[in-house]
Amino acid sequence: MRTAYSVETVRAAERELMARLPEGALMQRAAAGLAAVCAGLLGRVYGARVVLLVGPGDNGGDALYAGARLARRGAGVTAVPVDPERVHEGGLRALLAAGGRLAGAVPGRADLVVDGLVGIGGRGGLRPAAAALVERIPAGAPVVAVDLPSGVDADTGEVAGAAVHADVTVTFGAYKPGLLIDPGASRTGALRLVDIGLSLPDPDAEALQHADVAELLPAPAAESDKYRRGVVGVLAGSAQYPGAAVLAVAGALRGGAGAVRYVGPAADAVLARYPETLIGRGRVQAWVVGPGLGEGRAAEVAEALADPVPVLVDADGLRGLDPQVLRARPAETLLTPHAGEAAALLGTSREAVEAARLSSVRTLAARYGATALLKGSTTLVAHPAGGPVRVNPTGTAWLATAGSGDVLSGLAGSLLASGLAAVDAASVAAYVHGLAGRRAAAGAPLHAQQIAQFLPEAWRDIREEARYGTGRGGHRA
Ligand SMILES: NC(=O)C1=CN([C@@H]2O[C@H](COP(=O)(O)OP(=O)(O)OC[C@H]3O[C@@H](n4cnc5c(N)ncnc54)[C@H](O)[C@@H]3O)[C@@H](O)[C@H]2O)[C@@H](O)CC1
Ligand SMILES: Nc1ncnc2c1ncn2[C@@H]1O[C@H](COP(=O)(O)OP(=O)(O)O)[C@@H](O)[C@H]1O
Ligand SMILES: [K+]
């Protein structure tokens, strides 16, 4: 499990540790880790041209001390401060003593640029003086961000205005949510964590890894039969959108349930593609409701919600949902909107949801009393009672293709039917779907059926790789 912590939590842990260590010890740990990553990237440190962009706070201090370490190994290090009157004193002294120099402008050429403009003390988009330095970063020079790419909000991943695009981000003590969640996540490049010895409480966000997912994937026991494995009901499709039913069933058949039961007007299309599907009403252990339903199907949605089993609501099923009805349900509800659907549920705009994904998914879950999976560039899953938000680390923008979400909802519903808690079903489905999408795409456009076809391969990969890894999954139901 990769865990992430808010600025407030990180600061508290730092204070606690700093009180027990000699002054400046933490910054030296950070700078040593940063310098080691920079040296690794440079290969040959001696003679390399390193440019430090130095903000007024401790983030700039880290960059200066790391620069001093590189200068002592023979690099030509130039520090460019945002404000020459406000530079970390000790860091500057160390750099100058090691042979580094101070400059008023960004040099035209560099083998490495270190972004020490702002770290967890940053607020809002970069101010003009800092943004101007970012614009001067020499084309093609690799950029290493100190703690986080300047301009990215550490807690949320929000980017208001200019922000650094890093090739590598060296973060200290703990990952911050903004490093894992878009738009921030797409600015970090490769992430490196430097352990500075913090003791941390429960995380604010977490990302499952292969080993966690492997532990959650359902597998039939020797005594299993199809009913014990769970039956998932799929209420989807319409005369206008029969394909959504086929794709949801395609996902459901590959998600661990023992049988898939289809209810709706697209039975012929479903059977033509998947003759193994059961047709018509009957007992199910979980429902998938909504893909391709079209309009005027509220009564059927309400009927499924009245069944005391877990229900996943997607797409057209999300229209006009009543929070009171969801709160009164005796079993879990899982909502799987994309940003547009989430905006309608929250009474805001799609842009507002995309700019603030973390708070949107939390609000959605709390307001509707349901687990919420917010799809898009970083898929997030929130539990209605709060706790860490799950951040999906797999996926590719090629998944943004018609019908992709239908496959996801079928898959997640199948995992619900096989007994996973809603948070686990949602985050495992997003993980496997994202991996299958990456494999199916392999750098080229894909269509939704291919995602379904690659699900078993992704599933097998997770189980295989996890044999050699460690890690724990799970979440309270
Ligand atoms: N506290 C600690 O124990 C440690 C802190 N470390 C470093 O210290 C950083 C935090 O340092 P600070 O608290 O000094 O804060 P930062 O250095 O992150 O930023 C604060 C400074 O940036 C300016 N600023 C804020 N928002 C800005 C914006 N949008 N545009 C331009 N300038 C902006 C502020 O005026 C302030 O002077 C961490 O990110 C990390 O790099 C590390 O050395 C590890 C140990
Ligand atoms: N930019 C993106 N990067 C990664 N994944 C994306 C992106 N955009 C969409 N996706 C994923 O693609 C799927 C699209 O689902 P959805 O919007 O419901 O499409 P549809 O309704 O056509 O099935 C979701 O799994 C979503 O997370
Ligand atoms: K930075």
Q: Round to whole Å and give the CA distance between 18 and 31.
A: 15
CA end-to-end distance (rounded Å), the chain: 18
Q: Whose CA is nearest to atom 40 of ligand 1?
A: 59
Q: What topology is assigned to 210-466 in CATH?
A: UDP-N-acetylmuramoyl-L-alanine:D-glutamate ligase (3.40.1190)
For ligand 1, the distance from its centroid to the CA atom of residue 58, given in whole angstroms, is: 5
150 annotated as a binding-site residue = yes
pTM to 2 decimal places: 0.91
Q: Round to whole Å and give the CA distance between 389 and 381.
A: 6
Q: Residue 42 above 60 pLDDT?
A: yes
Q: Whose CA is nearest to atom 29 of ligand 1?
A: 126
Place of tokens 């939704």: 448
Q: Residue 466 above 90 pLDDT?
A: no
120 annotated as a binding-site residue = yes
Q: What does the pLDDT read at residue 224? A: 87
**pLDDT cut 70: percent of the chain above it:** 98
Pocket of ligand 2 (CB under 6 A): 315, 338, 375-377, 379, 395-397, 399-400, 402-406, 408, 433
Q: What topology is assigned to 2-206 in CATH?
A: Rossmann fold (3.40.50)
Q: What does the pLDDT read at residue 228? A: 87
Structure tokens, 106: 């960004």
Q: Residue 474 above 50 pLDDT?
A: no
Q: Whose CA is nearest to atom 2 of ligand 1?
A: 14
Give the nearest ligand 2 atom to 448 CA: 23
Give the nearest ligand 1 atom to 27 CA: 43
Structure tokens, 368: 């509707």
Nearest ligand to the CA atom of 115: 3
Q: Provide ipTM, 2 decimals.
A: 0.93
Q: What is the average per-residue pLDDT within 350-373?
A: 97
Q: Whose CA is nearest to atom 6 of ligand 2?
A: 376
Neighbours of ion ligand 3 (CB under 5 A): 115, 145-146, 150
Q: Round to whole Å and give the CA distance between 437 and 11.
A: 38
Q: Round to whole Å and give the CA distance between 292 and 269.
A: 13
Matching CATH topology for 2-206 and 210-466? no
Q: Round to whole Å and give the CA distance between 68 and 94.
A: 6
Give the nearest ligand 2 atom to 402 CA: 22
For ligand 2, the distance from its centroid to the CA atom of residue 404, given in whole angstroms, is: 6
Q: What is the average per-residue pLDDT within 15-28?
A: 95
Q: Residue 477 above 80 pLDDT?
A: no
Residue 96: which pLDDT band, with cuts at 50, 70 and 90? Answer: very high
For ligand 3, the distance from its centroid to the CA atom of residue 148, given in whole angstroms, is: 5
Structure tokens, 304: 């499924």
Q: What does the pLDDT read at residue 472? A: 36
Q: Residue 469 above 80 pLDDT?
A: no
Q: What does the pLDDT read at residue 468? A: 66
Of 64-78, 102-116, 324-338, 459-473, which gets the smallest average pLDDT? 459-473
pLDDT in tens, 276-321: 999 999 999 999 999 999 999 999 999 999 999 999 999 999 999 9
The enclosing H or E element of 324 equals: helix 323-328
Report the chain's mean pLDDT, rounded to a whole number: 95
For ligand 3, the distance from its centroid to the CA atom of residue 210, given in whole angstroms, is: 29
104 annotated as a binding-site residue = no
Q: What is the average per-residue pLDDT within 256-268?
A: 97
For ligand 3, the distance from its centroid to the CA atom of residue 63, given in whole angstroms, is: 9
Strand-by-strand arrangement of the 333-335 sheet: 2-4, 205-207, 389-391, 380-382, 371-374, 333-335, 311-313, 286-289, 231-235, 259-263, 278-279
Q: What is the average per-residue pLDDT within 78-85?
A: 98
Q: What is the average per-residue pLDDT within 80-103?
A: 98
Q: Give the phi and the psi of residue 416 in degrees, each rounded to 5.
A: -60, -45
377 annotated as a binding-site residue = yes
Strand partners, 288: 234, 312
pLDDT in tens, 233-259: 999 999 999 999 999 999 999 999 999
Q: Give the phi and the psi of residue 228 in degrees, each rounded to 5.
A: -65, -30
User: Contact 417/284 with Cβ under 8 angstroms?
Assistant: yes
Residue 92: which pLDDT band, with cuts at 50, 70 and 90? Answer: very high
Q: Residue 473 above 60 pLDDT?
A: no
Give the nearest ligand 2 atom to 430 CA: 25
Q: What is the average per-residue pLDDT within 400-415?
A: 98
Q: Which residues contact 296 (CB under 8 A, 6 or more apart)?
A: none
For ligand 3, the distance from its centroid to the CA atom of residue 239, given in whole angstroms, is: 53
Q: Round to whole Å and give the CA distance between 273 and 279.
A: 13
Task: Give residue 133's region: left, alpha or beta (phi > 0; psi -120 to 50).
Answer: alpha
For ligand 1, the distance from its centroid to the CA atom of residue 60, given in whole angstroms, is: 7
55 annotated as a binding-site residue = no
Give the nearest ligand 1 atom to 55 CA: 22
258 annotated as a binding-site residue = no
Q: What does the pLDDT read at residue 456? A: 98
Strand-by-strand arrangement of the 49-54 sheet: 101-102, 76-81, 49-54, 112-116, 143-146, 168-172, 190-194
pLDDT in tens, 192-224: 999 999 999 999 999 999 999 999 999 988 888
Q: Round to whole Å and give the CA distance between 172 and 100.
A: 24
Q: Round to whole Å and give the CA distance between 25 and 11.
A: 15
Structural domain spans, the chain: 2-206, 210-466
Pocket of ligand 1 (CB under 6 A): 14, 18, 26-27, 30, 55-60, 62, 118-127, 130, 146-147, 172, 196
pLDDT in tens, 137-194: 999 999 999 999 999 999 999 999 999 999 999 999 999 999 999 999 999 999 999 9
For ligand 3, the distance from its centroid to the CA atom of residue 420, given in whole angstroms, is: 39
Q: Residue 410 above 60 pLDDT?
A: yes
406 annotated as a binding-site residue = yes
Q: Round to whole Å and give the CA distance between 380 and 361.
A: 7
Q: Round to whole Å and give the CA distance between 31 and 437.
A: 38
Q: Pairing between strand 49-54 and 278-279?
A: unpaired
